[in-house]
Structure 1
Amino acid sequence: MFDPKIHLTSDDLKRMVENKCERELCFLLLCDVIGAGSYSNLSIKKADRIAQKYNVSLNFVRAMFYGTLTYLYSIDQIFKRITRKDIEELDIVSSVAIRQALWQELFSDSDIPDYAVVSTAVDIVKKYNPKACGLVNALLRQITSADRSVKDIDQYNPNVKTSLKPELFGILKKSYGQEKAVSIGKALLTPSLTTLRFDPAKISAEDLISELSDEGIEACPGHFMPCALTIKGSPSGIENTKAYKTGLISVQNEAAQLASVIASPVKGDKILDVCSAPGGKSCHMAEIASDDCSILALDLNPSRLELVRQNAERLDLKSIETETADSTDLSKFVDGVYDIVLCDLPCSGLGLIGRKPDIRLNMTYEKILEISKIQKKILDEASKKVKKGGVLIYCTCTLNSDENEGRMKDFLADHPEYKASSLEGMLPSKVKLDKNREISLAQGYVTLFPDTDNVDGFFISRMERVL
């Protein structure tokens, strides 16, 4: 049970950042996510904003925070095997302090002695739940003194090797087979690199790399998208760069960029983006069409829709209008008038686990079933808006064949007015091709993988309205 007293306030952040209380700060950030259910990316952003004011680096905090969340399932299973206890039965202070300490002991590259790791964890517990100090000290000493082989995740089953609970690993295994599932899972243990999208009509890759370097940010060309740069190191501070403020760059993974390329907007197109926030794809489509098109960006959440407006304004894009709407009911919008309808729909998000590790904690099979119902409703509604000869783009940021090609195939079976539109020849030349991918491209879809494509897990399909 989460203790509301263990809550990360702005005053806490200021004090800990200013005094460089890195482990305590990480502890409270983890409590915020594990105990209170906050999103990991939003929690770390709060700390980043304050750290920038004090010119303090949070690289160590970030590594510990994301590392602990990433390896949480593995840590819990190793803890259980050694202590014969379920860590979930402990209070939130004890469980989070132990997990953070075990990440340092088992998975970090630091050479901090075990006794120092234990001592620091006990000091944190002493501050927030002093009665638990003795228990935490005893449990951590039991684990740190255990044989190293018992703490080697490669000696465990695939769930522990990939730090994925059985139901999530099972989805990958069902979708792609055991060997590929393990490969994907291991790739998702590595934090995703931050990728930028730039408009080549405004600046060249070489000039942009030089400009970012002048502000202390090291960038290099992306893996396959010609308008992508990959950032080396922490992504904090990107939004403070001149390039970002003047609309030269946006933060967007290459996999997500590919969706707009496959949509292939041209000048004069009328486009509907039904779940648009924060606006990356709407803005990218506007750039591809030289801002000479008409894009209506919808979202259910007004505050997230404001992000679309802000991004369009920052990028100086005039072709995007926004409107708050529930995309499960689009009856107020005219049918059959859009050249492109883009549906980047709510999904289980398994392809984003590398950058949003809280998905490992919170996503369940039951939630996926509910999400699947929403996907069907939105896709059915959105499909009515495409004109004859127009295209429907369905994409997700998950790696679940039921939500991806399964959803596409079910849709086509229910909608004879649509057919799959081949993606052959539409992918950048640097995208890796194999027999399976060539087959899927001919069938109108592509799945990108973190292990072989070095991007977020992502699915994109293209369907043409023929009746």
Structure 2
Amino acid sequence: MPVRKDRHGMPDSLKRPVNGREAALQALLQIWQEGAYTAIALNRTLRRAGLEELDRRFATELVNGAVKAKGTLDFVLGRMTDRPVRKLEPVIYCILHLGLYQIFYMDRIPDAAACNESVNLAKKFSHKGTDKFVNGVLRGTLRQKELLWEKIRNDMPLRVCHPRWLVERWRRQFGDEEANALCHWNNEPARLSLRVNSCMTTRDAFLQDLRETGCEAEVSLWCPDGIVMTKSPGLQMLLETFPHSFYVQDESSMLPAMALAPQPGERVLDLCAAPGGKTTHIGALMENTGRVTACDIYPHKLKLIAENAARLKLENIKTELQDGCVFREEWEAAFDRVLVDAPCSGLGVLRRRAEARWTKTETGLRDFPALQQKILDNASRYVKPGGVLVYSTCTIEDRENRILIETFLQNHREWKQTGFAHPRTKKTVKELQLYPQRDGVDGFYLTVLQKDK
């Protein structure tokens, strides 16, 4: 009897997972079949499943680990089956990845359990006979486990679970030791960091509120509004308990709004605003006064910005459907400050976007500088004489950062880089490039530009 599937090719029976392995399988299918972000697929699945905390943690570890190790698991699969990996049935491909991840990376799971439970998944979610195939691949892997481990350990991209092109790129850029450290940083679980909504509470007051509910947290060393959670009941519980008090935001991502330094009553433009983290930070720094215009090219992302602003009770934010590459005449010289958090390769935040290392390509990196330059050129026309523009990205690519800004300044003599305080040392700098393996936070770039009066 054929397996019933929905329009995404997902078996109907996968829609209500009853344990951690089933939840992991459902999330993994969404990631590789639908292009879902790992965090979104996992949260969506776990929310629907309503599993116990132990199963939730197990599913989370399985999904994050299997996604990060995709290239290494594909290598093992390629050695253990004559079938091309890309031609495997998606459900079987994901089941094998989950089984192999348990065998190679989860010492506390007995090998027999990893095999048997994977076979059970195949029986439940695929057609007759695939269970024998899954069993054969995993049992064969166990017989060759040490030999396969030796090959993995002696091959840096396989060992550090990153694409070969990216590892070689970083080896050229940083050297072997730093490239290895960067890859290991990306493979570690990302910490949950929160930005306090300063229009509703203070950092000290919010820290006290968190501790009274049994949470453990520490102040961010990078942003005066930042908090890093060390023990929490989960994001959903925090949102239910403190709905207006915080926004989930990476520490590095808190820096552009601080560098922009918006003042109460000003008119500010956030040209690439979704999902609204920096927009709402700007709105709070302006003490809920003035006007922040937040732009995106997709209506559903504008809705998300508006929802985030409403949750934080910020009334000075207005959304606009606007392409950053298209000049809007009525905005010329209309804004006191403009933020360009440009679309970029995102190579600084691979720790938080587990699947992104496998979806990016080296040739794809070449497309970003031209797009960024066009957006920056447009944005510069929106700034009043004497006004300020902050350019930022979440990448560690010079061509998207330092080199791009050098080109912009050569072509726009009315602009100059202006000094701002380094968030840690407080020394005056003209640009900030953060590297995860050096700074212990997500990779990020920002610089502050000022227009002549």
Q: TM-score, normalised by structure 1?
A: 0.87
Contact 1:276 1:299 in 2 (8 A): yes
Encode CA deviations 1:223-275: one digit per residue, 9 max, x unaligned.
Answer: 432221112357431553321x1x21111111000111111112232211001
- The size of the alignment, in residue pairs, is 447
2:219 alignment partner AA: P
1:369 to 366, 374, 378: 366
What does residue 103 of structure 2 align with?
105
* 2:328 alignment partner, SS class: coil
Tell me which residue corresponds to 1:232. Answer: 230
Q: Residues 181 and 84 of structure 1: is their aligned pair in 2 closer, same or farther, counting only changes over 3 Å?
A: farther
> Mind listing any 5+ residue stretches in structure 1 that lack a counterpart?
432-437
Question: 1: distance between equivalents of 2:287 and 2:12?
Answer: 42
Aligned-partner SS, 1:219: strand
- 1:400-428, Cα deviation, whole Å (9 max, x unpaired): 222222222222222222222233x3424
The 2-side partners of 1:9 and 1:278 are apart by 31
Q: 81-90 vs 158-167, which deviates more?
A: 81-90
Question: Equivalences for 1:22-421 in 2 at 5 Å?
Answer: 22-51=20-49, 58-80=56-78, 87-108=85-106, 110-127=107-124, 128-148=126-146, 150-151=148-149, 155-200=153-198, 202-232=200-230, 235-238=234-237, 240-243=239-242, 245=243, 247-421=244-418
Q: Is the 8 A contact 2:20 2:55 kept in 1?
A: no
Identity score, percent? 26
Report if the CA contact (8 A) 1:7-1:32 is conserved: no
Cross-structure match for 1:434: none
Conservation of the 8 A alpha-carbon contact between 2:418 and 2:450? yes
The Cα shift of 1:116 comes to 1.1
Q: What displacement does 1:353 show? A: 1.4
Question: Structure 2 matches for 1:16-27, cutoff 5 A?
Answer: 16=17, 19=18, 21-27=19-25
Q: 1:84 to 1:412 in 2, by over 3 A?
A: farther
2:295 & 2:286 partners in 1: Cα distance?
A: 19
**CA spacing shift, 1:294–1:175, aligned 2, 3 Å:** farther
Question: Counterpart of 2:423 in structure 1: which amino acid?
Answer: L
- Cα shift readout 1:121-162 (whole Å, capped 9, x = no counterpart): 122122313333223222211222225363268723332232
Report if the CA contact (8 A) 1:291-1:317 is conserved. Answer: yes
Q: Indicate the SS of the match to 1:130.
A: coil
Q: CA deviation at 1:364?
A: 1.3
Distance 1:278 1:446, change over 3 A: same
Specify whether residues 147 and 121 from structure 1 end up closer, same or farther in structure 2 by C-alpha distance, changes over 3 A only: closer
Name 2:437's counterpart in structure 1: 451
Q: 1:215 to 1:57 in 2, by over 3 A?
A: farther
Q: Which amino acid is 2:29 matched to?
A: C
Q: In the alignment, which of 422, 427, 433 is matched to residue 423 of structure 2? A: 427
**Residue 267 of structure 1 contacts residue 293 of structure 1 at CA under 8 Å; is this kept in 2?**
yes
Any idea what SS the aligned residue of 2:438 has?
A: coil
Please state whether the residue corresponding to 1:241 is helix, strand or coil: helix
Deviations 1:196-225 (A, max 9, x none): 001456434343233234445432222432
What amino acid maps onto 2:195 in structure 1? Answer: R
Structure 1 pair 57–104 and aligned structure 2 pair: CA distance change class (3 A) = closer
1:44-70 CA-to-partner distances (Å, cap 9, x unmatched) read: 221233245988862211111111101
8 A contact 2:20–2:51 mirrored in 1: no
CA-to-aligned-CA distance 1:34-89 (integer Å, 9 cap, x gap): 12322222212212332459888622111111111011112223444566875334
Call closer, same or farther: CA 1:9–1:378 in 2, change over 3 Å: farther
Counterpart Cα distance in 2 of 1:265 and 1:176? 35
The worse-fitting range, judged by mean Cα deviation, of 130-139 and 297-306 is 130-139
State whether residues 252 and 444 of structure 2, in contact with CA within 8 Å, keep that contact through their aligned partners in structure 1: yes
SS in 1 for 2:129: helix
Contact 1:48–1:236 (CA under 8 A) maintained in structure 2:
no
RMSD: 2.8
Separation in 2 of the partners of 1:392 and 1:46? 37
Residue 345 to residue 4, structure 1, CA distance change in 2 (3 Å):
farther
Structure 2 CA distance, aligned partners of 1:80 and 1:53?
A: 34
Q: Find the aligned partners of 1:161 and 1:179 in 2 and give their Cα distance.
A: 14
- Name the SS of the counterpart of 2:331 in structure 1: coil
Question: Measured at CA, do residues 167 and 111 of structure 1 come closer, stay the same or move farther in structure 2, by a change above 3 Å?
Answer: same
SS at match of 1:276: coil
CA contact (8 A) 1:175 1:400 kept: no
Aligned residue number for residue 464 of structure 1:
450
Aligned residues of 2:343 and 2:393 also touching (Cα < 8 A): yes
Q: CA deviation at 1:23?
A: 0.7
SS of match in other structure, 1:169: helix
Distance 2:162 2:401 in 1: 20
Q: For 1:264 and 1:218, locate their aligned partners in 2 and report how far apart those are by CA, in whole Å.
A: 30
SS of the counterpart of 1:388?
strand
Q: TM-score, normalised to structure 2's length?
A: 0.89
